Amino acid sequence: MIKFEKISLDELKKLIYLSCENDNELIVKYHSLNLNKNKSYTLEDCVSETFERIKNAEEEIGLDKYKVLYQGEDIGYVVLFEDILYSYAIAMKYRTKEILPLWWEEICNLFENEFVTMIYDNNTRCLNFLLKNNMQIVESEDNILMLKNI
């Protein structure tokens, strides 16, 4: 069973770390930092950049932050703003065909109606997941894709 619990910004960084840990493809290929192809990045770089982006948005607009639990264990995080799925991830060992659909269903249940999310176009793994789960590209600008649930 997947559950979401509201958290503070202070609790978020360790959940971002948990979600990125052991995901070497994210670190070397899919994270937004990799748009700069002239540099190599570490797990810590990816976690810090993700956390700082969320922290800055929190200061500007306020966000709803949740930890994701599976059978009572922390497995990831979800961050929302109104009808925007702002940031989200779960730990590698929980990205299974049994757990991912439950996780996605719970994310969808956080929204009353339609919602959007934005990803960088280099994150083809996430893009494929979103397209398979009834999201549709509605806008593309520079390296950013906006998707909406349909």
Q: Which amino acid does the sequence have at 105?
A: E
Q: Which CATH number fits domain 2-149: 3.40.630.30, 3.30.428.10, 3.40.190.10, 3.40.50.1980?
A: 3.40.630.30
pLDDT, position 74: 98
pLDDT digits (tens, 9 = 90+) for 47-64: 988 999 999 999 999 999
d(CA 48, CA 82): 24
DSSP character for 31?
A: S
pLDDT digits (tens, 9 = 90+) for 95-145: 999 999 999 999 999 998 899 999 988 889 999 999 999 999 999 998 899
b/e burial code for range 104-143 (CB count within 10 A of at least 16 → b): bebbeeeeeeebbbebbebbeebbeebeeeebeeeeeeee
Neighbours of 147 (CB within 10 A): 23
